[in-house]
Homo-oligomer: A and B are copies of this chain.
């Protein structure tokens, strides 16, 4: 049996809308430096297999050849359980913020418990959009000189990978999460199905009716549920809650 996604070869590296093929190459090189192999590309602007990318990978072209392309960020993280969003500046979302070092320790614990992890990086100049950050559980920020903190894509991947590599070798008996009693944690696909279900019903009932407030409300709701580290069983329960509430409302409006 092959290991669960985002576990065997360490966390997945998810590049959202990378612009230049060279940068995909140098990111692949940085991954290989740190023993990472699971590269996922969401709407890359250029091909990650053209010569410029392969040359920039400098021996790490196996990572590029194995890379997978996705149309939506949601699909790229669907099989993962815990996702980090790298940002350079405060996005004013209620999410836990960690350093690469803490992220590495957390991921090691999650991955050794069989839960797939991933780290998302945004486009070169603009960084991740808020809609992508909302999909993440935790924000990752690199502590650097505040007056000059911009990193290029490969360097950001390298720092995250470097910290991963420093802890990946350390095997520890206590590195296991409460898995048995509470049931398995929900993966992103299961969570997203629930979010969509909830938002559909909230749209239907008029709760999200103000168009200029809707995006913020949706984000706040998703962040709130995401922080809860829901199990798959809990997500099913929540589906039931939403369905029941919606049915009740339908009945009432009919009655």
Chain A residues near B (Cβ < 8 Å): 29-30, 32-35, 58-60, 101, 142-145, 148-151, 154-155, 158-159, 162, 165-166
List B contacts of A162 (CB < 8 A). 142, 144, 159, 162
Q: In the bound complex, do residue A59 and residue B148 qualify as a contact, i.e. CB atoms below 8 Å apart? A: yes
Supply 10 A–B pairs (Cβ within 8 Å), ascending by A. Answer: A32-B148, A34-B144, A34-B145, A58-B150, A144-B162, A151-B158, A155-B155, A155-B158, A158-B158, A159-B162
Q: In the bound complex, do residue B145 and residue A33 qualify as a contact, i.e. CB atoms below 8 Å apart? A: yes
Nearest chain B CB to A207 CB, angstrom units = 44
- Give the complex CA separation of A21 and B158 in angstroms: 22
- Give the complex CA separation of A29 and B35 in angstroms: 26
Q: In the bound complex, do residue A32 and residue B166 qualify as a contact, i.e. CB atoms below 8 Å apart? A: no
List B contacts of A159 (CB < 8 A). 158-159, 162
Nearest chain B CB to A158 CB, angstrom units = 6
**Besides the contacts A33-B144, A144-B165, what 5 more A-B pairs have beta carbons closer than 8 Å?**
A32-B145, A33-B145, A33-B150, A154-B155, A158-B159
Stoichiometry (number of copies): 2
Choice from B148, B155, B165 contacting A143 with Cβ under 8 Å? B165
List B contacts of A145 (CB < 8 A). 32-35, 165
Nearest chain B CB to A181 CB, angstrom units = 37
List B contacts of A165 (CB < 8 A). 143-145
List B contacts of A148 (CB < 8 A). 29, 32-33, 59-60
Closest to A59 in B: B148
User: Given contacts A155-B158, A159-B158, A162-B159, are A59 and B143 in contact (CB under 8 A)?
Assistant: no
- Give the complex CA separation of A56 and B197 in angstroms: 47
- Give the complex CA separation of A59 and B145 in angstroms: 13
- Give the complex CA separation of A43 and B54 in angstroms: 31
List B contacts of A143 (CB < 8 A). 165-166
List B contacts of A144 (CB < 8 A). 33-34, 162, 165
Nearest chain B CB to A62 CB, angstrom units = 9
